[in-house]
Structure 1
Amino acid sequence: MPEKEASASAVLIDGVADWLMSQALGEADLHDIVGGCCDRLLAAGIPLWRGFVTFRILHPKFASVAIVWRRDERTGTVERIETLHGEAFTSEDWRQSPINHMLSTQIPFLRRRLRGEEAFLDFPVCEELREQGASDYVAWMVAFARDNEPGPHQDGIIGSWSTDRPSGFSDSEIRTLVRIQRRLAVSLKVQIKQQITHTVLATYLGKDAGRQVLDGQIRRGDGEMLHAVIWYSDLRDSTRLADSLSAEDFLETVNSYFECTAGAVLANGGEVLRFIGDAVLAIFPIRDGDPRSACEGAMAAARDAEARLQALNQERAGKRLEALDYGLGLHIGDVMFGNIGVPERLEFSVIGPAANEVARIESLTKTLGRRTLASAEFARCAPRDWESTGAHALRGVGTAVEVMALKT
């Protein structure tokens, strides 16, 4: 390559490296970092046909993520592939992959020519890529810590570059890719750690509470007064179930019940605040002063929960397991939404009379024989075919509260 042309390419590659560092300093999407890096490498003259990265994540559903870029005319398309726990690192494709080989042997670099006299197709993926048009395959690995235990649970990034140029990558291009891939790994590491932080906080606190903590509300007493629809549901006969089932079977049963109730809350715009034993405390915030939207969200969640429970009980009947049931209380009120506890151990939750009242309303579902009960305040904001069950004295509440039930 002429010196002037080589210098121009070096400037463009410097631009890719600088761009990757800027992504590490901001809040960028992993998908956009990989796609943007590959697009820029292609624009700088690297004959990239496919780019691939994969990494482990800390997530309640997924074990790992892979991001695949493929050239499409002048730029590329990006695909994100998430692998569930239990499916990662167990398939035959995984066992026969270059990635598994590199992790097992701790080889940080692997190259396979896919065409010509030097072709070496010792992994199934090499055959697959050649059939799709690739001519050269370069895999790489960057570990995040030197004391990582070798194997699939190692913390780091594994990736690969492929080209469809008949002659493959040149030595100069591979040197460029090696330089860029370390900066790509740095940028991805920063964003992966940020994503893990958001995921952990959202998983254990809820999305809104997690966001408030990240925004700085971390001191005891930090919070806000919130007008909200409050949901409280409780599994029926849980003590008897706990006594009659093994710990593993009871845990599975409770989680199935949470899928019905808490899952319905989340699917309909609510936020789960706490799991209190086998009870669910959740809210549907009223942010614009009009409670109707929040009430309708709670009613939609209640219908969804009943449908989920019916499907679950049909499944349990097929296994000759007894049906599950729950009680649900719905209420509207003002609550303090914030940090409670001691400075060394805080919990982001709701406190206030309304939170106590909704739990007392739910407790009446057992004595009144109704699955769902609501306060009169809630019923007025969610018009349905309600009927009054009368005014009830609730423990810890000074005046009797009118409690409503849907007509059956």
Structure 2
Amino acid sequence: MQTAAKGPDMTMPDKNPPTLSDGVVRWLTNGTRDERFIDNIFAEMCNRLQQAGIPLKRSTLHILINHPQWLGARFMWSDGMRGAEIALVDYDVRERSEYIGSPANEMQNGASELRENLERDPALGRKHALYDEMRAKGLTDYVAWPLYHTLGKRHLITFATDRPGGFDDAHIAALKNLLPVLALVSEIRVKNRLARTLLETYVGAHAGELILAGATRRGTGTTVRAAIMICDLRDFTKISDNWPRDDVIDLLNDYFDAMSEPIARHGGEILKFIGDGLLAIFPLSQPDACANLLHAVSEARGAMAALNERNKNSGRAPLNYGIGVHVGDVMYGNIGSASRLDFTVIGPAVNMASRLEALTKQIGRTVLLSRDFAEQVQPKFELERVGKYEVRGFSDPIELFAYPG
């Protein structure tokens, strides 16, 4: 019997030879689904890379974020840290020396890899203060790669070591092996945070939390007892007709900063900006909600006085405003069309606050309070009774109080 000749070995070569980071990749894939924050995942990943035998001394993760104040965030891990240090980066950074010529700058300009031997003569290497800082800390090798998210978004991850001779080929292969999985894991967390940030920015923290929890059906909501504050800028039409557009936008932003920051600081929630006005509530479920509203009004007055002083020095006219305040039950929830909703409050109590704001022009007081609200804060706050007035939409005259100052 003739033995058949052996054919060529058809065994497929291993396209993914094992690396030092395989265990870390498995952990990223299967062990992070309950962790909400990317900084915690990033720090744990760095510690696990060390345990796997990669001589990691320092690592950073740079993420571009959609935030009204911040361009991005930098997470930094160093040897011995359990967590990551978080630094927010403002939009003006791209004009400063810390960014120009940096690895982040090169990466955003299209670089696919940066590798810097920190042991060689600095005169022969890249010129940036970051490399000098790393040399001063005894680091010997630095590598940076883009971290790709969907739709062409490029972020940045860097690794550095103090091992004599730097990273070897096995270390670099292991670190590269992480990138695709880390990109997926980080994108999920970044987009979760982005959704939260956008909701907080456009509808407020509390409403955003409710929406993320599933309160998205039209007509759903709850009854909330709250102190309601409505503020409106005076003579805005005249200002917008006569001022340059950019000046009008700057004016509105300064005005809303002066009003909004005290409201947020004292536990209020701004539900909407309406042209040159705003609507805010202080839910009575919070301790001292009505008192907190008046504290916010006091601080806003001070901020507006300071803003008017600055405007005066630059030749601008002072800004005047009116505030109406009431307390009562409001319907708090989703209202709108089938495809476009607003998360807001409605009800007679909101209408009353709006009417009182309008009456500030007629009565000549900056802040008008209803009797219902005044009873919540007297005698702690000294208020001035201004009498009973007819209020449009309400059958009986309403007793009003002014908040002196």
TM-score under structure 2 length normalisation: 0.90
The answer to whether the 8 A contact 1:52-1:69 is kept is yes
2:91 aligned with 1:82: no
Q: 1:293 aligns with which of 269, 277, 288?
A: 288
Secondary structure at the counterpart of residue 99 of structure 2: helix
One-letter amino acid matched to 2:247: D
2:26 aligned with 1:18: yes
Per the alignment, residue 267 of structure 1 pairs with: 265
The answer to whether the 8 A contact 2:311-2:317 is kept is yes
For residues 292-371 of structure 1, the aligned pairs below 5 Å read 293-371=288-366
Per the alignment, residue 117 of structure 2 pairs with: 113
Per the alignment, residue 29 of structure 1 pairs with: 37
Q: Offset at 1:199?
A: 0.6
Per the alignment, residue 375 of structure 2 pairs with: 380
Per the alignment, residue 228 of structure 2 pairs with: 230
Q: How many angstroms apart in 2 are the aligned matches of 1:216 and 1:272? A: 21
Per the alignment, residue 123 of structure 1 pairs with: 127
Secondary structure at the counterpart of residue 384 of structure 2: strand
Q: How many angstroms apart in 1 are the aligned matches of 2:107 and 2:278? A: 45
2:259 aligned with 1:255: no
Secondary structure at the counterpart of residue 134 of structure 1: coil
Q: 1:394 aligns with which of 388, 391, 395?
A: 391
The answer to whether the 8 A contact 2:218-2:338 is kept is yes
One-letter amino acid matched to 1:80: I
Q: Offset at 1:243?
A: 1.7
Where structure 2 has 5 or more consecutive residues not aligned to the other structure, the ranges are 1-17
Per the alignment, residue 203 of structure 2 pairs with: 205
One-letter amino acid matched to 1:113: N
Secondary structure at the counterpart of residue 95 of structure 1: coil
The answer to whether the 8 A contact 1:71-1:77 is kept is no
Q: Offset at 1:77?
A: 5.4
Per the alignment, residue 151 of structure 1 pairs with: none
Q: How many angstroms apart in 1 are the aligned matches of 2:123 and 2:30? A: 38
Q: How many angstroms apart in 1 are the aligned matches of 2:339 and 2:107? A: 43
Call closer, same or farther: CA 1:23–1:249 in 2, change over 3 Å: farther
2:290 aligned with 1:282: no
Q: Offset at 1:263?
A: 2.1
What does the per-residue CA deviation read over 1:126-168, in whole Å, with 9 as the maximum and x for residues that have no partner? 23211221001111112224x63xxxxxx12211100011121
Secondary structure at the counterpart of residue 243 of structure 1: helix
Q: Offset at 1:367?
A: 1.6
What does the per-residue CA deviation read over 1:241-292, in whole Å, with 9 as the maximum and x for residues that have no partner? 112212221121111111111222112110000111111100001126xxx6
Q: How many angstroms apart in 1 are the aligned matches of 2:139 and 2:82? A: 15
Call closer, same or farther: CA 1:24–1:346 in 2, change over 3 Å: farther
Structure 1 stretches of 4+ with a deviation exceeding 4 A read: 116-120
CA RMSD of aligned residues (A): 2.1
2:151 aligned with 1:143: no
- Percent identical pairs in the alignment equals 35
The answer to whether the 8 A contact 1:338-1:350 is kept is yes
The answer to whether the 8 A contact 1:110-1:138 is kept is yes
The answer to whether the 8 A contact 1:222-1:338 is kept is yes
2:243 aligned with 1:245: yes
Per the alignment, residue 49 of structure 1 pairs with: 57
Q: How many angstroms apart in 2 are the aligned matches of 1:167 and 1:362? A: 71
Q: How many angstroms apart in 2 are the aligned matches of 1:117 and 1:254? A: 54
The answer to whether the 8 A contact 1:286-1:294 is kept is yes
- 301-310 vs 17-26, which moves further: 17-26
Q: How many angstroms apart in 1 are the aligned matches of 2:122 and 2:260? A: 57
Aligned pair count reads: 385
- 350-359 vs 18-27, which moves further: 18-27
Per the alignment, residue 69 of structure 1 pairs with: 77
One-letter amino acid matched to 1:312: L
Q: Offset at 1:47?
A: 1.1
Q: How many angstroms apart in 1 are the aligned matches of 2:251 and 2:120? A: 58
Q: How many angstroms apart in 2 are the aligned matches of 1:20 and 1:13? A: 10
Secondary structure at the counterpart of residue 94 of structure 1: coil
Q: How many angstroms apart in 2 are the aligned matches of 1:258 and 1:220? A: 29
One-letter amino acid matched to 2:96: S
The answer to whether the 8 A contact 1:55-1:66 is kept is yes
Call closer, same or farther: CA 1:136–1:278 in 2, change over 3 Å: same
The answer to whether the 8 A contact 2:323-2:367 is kept is yes
For residues 167-206 of structure 1, the aligned pairs below 5 Å read 167-206=165-204
Per the alignment, residue 97 of structure 2 pairs with: 92
For residues 158-169 of structure 1, the aligned pairs below 5 Å read 158-169=156-167
Q: Offset at 1:101?
A: 2.2
Secondary structure at the counterpart of residue 54 of structure 1: strand
Per the alignment, residue 134 of structure 1 pairs with: 139
One-letter amino acid matched to 1:293: D
